[in-house]
Amino acid sequence: MDKDYFYDPRKLTKITAGQKRAGLVDSYRHKGMRKRLVQKIAKKGIQDKRILEAIGTLPRHFFLDKAFEEWAYQDKPFPIGNEQTISQPYTVAYQTALLQVEKGDKILEIGTGSGYQASILSMLGAHVYTIERQEALSLSAKKLIKELRIPRIHFYFKDGFEGLPYLAPFDKILVTAGATQKPDILLQQLAIGGHIVIPIGQDIQVMHRITRIAEHEFKEELFDNFKFVPFLGGIVKR
């Protein structure tokens, strides 16, 4: 693994004063639980070694409320405040696998939430532009990722429906909230050959991968069903 691109776990063992103050400690117990989580996800069908390695390296308990730390390594979504959740680890792995991340990719993520998914994308060598409509979540994710010194993640407090037109085109776009229809504005921000991974549906969402084959030509692939928090318009100031 190219250590220049891949997030170096040694940075966490050499804990800085700031990390200690913030209670960011990764114990052997956490590491053990994380290893078992990775085994579980692999068993469910995720084969990409880079993704499994990233999930096995990144301490998920840093991204949850302290009260939920004990549950951080269960394969479940958990509350992160403001009625939002950190996605289930399997879902993170599933969406990341469909995205086919390559080193150096420019990726737009809609729904920063805790910043966990964005961190996984960065660990795979991507440049991540992540949008969140809830200011409080965007700010706390930004603070945590700075503390952890995970590189190449840019935070935007905005309505994700608009994307980031002035930074387009993106190689990949990942939507981590449940949409009710195809977002045309985001499709226009894809590079030719790039694709968007997005769950679409009312109560239950079908995972879609839509690839921009040519300027006006798109290919659509459908995958499994999931349940996401809703993709909502507008912003929420803290």
Residues near ligand SAH, by CB under 6 A: 84-87, 110-111, 113-114, 116-117, 131-134, 137, 159-161, 176-177, 229, 231-233
* Least CB distance to ligand SAH at residue 188 (A): 16
Q: In the bound complex, what is the minimum distance in angstroms from residue 237's beta carbon to ligand SAH?
A: 13
* Number of separate helices (H) and strands (E) present in the chain: 8, 9
Give the separation between CA 77 and CA 74, rounded to whole angstroms: 9
Of 62 and 116, nearer to ligand SAH (C-beta) is 116
The phi and psi torsions of 36 (rounded to 5 degrees) equal -65, -35
CB of 169 to ligand SAH, least distance (A): 19
Closest separation in Å from C-beta 89 to ligand SAH: 10
Q: Which is nearer to ligand SAH, 16 or 135 (CB)?
A: 135
Look at the block and give the residue holding tokens 């992160």.
Answer: 80
Distance CA 23, CA 53 (A): 24
One-letter amino acid of 76: K
Q: Which of 87, 119, 122, 138 is catalytic?
A: 87
Helix, strand, coil fractions of the chain, as percent rounded to 5:
35, 25, 35
Catalytic status, residue 140: no
User: Based on CB atoms, which residue is closest to ligand SAH, 164 or 210?
Assistant: 164
Nearer to ligand SAH, 42 or 136 (CB): 136
Which residue, 12 or 121, has its beta carbon nearer to ligand SAH? 121
d(CA 36, CA 74): 9
The sign of the CA dihedral 153, 100, 120, 184 is positive
Q: How far is the CB of 36 from ligand SAH (least distance, A)?
A: 20
Which residues are CB-neighbours of 237 under 8 A, at least 6 positions away?
135
Nearest of 59, 34, 55, 61 to residue 97 by alpha carbon: 55
Residue with tokens 């409080």: 136
Catalytic residues: 87
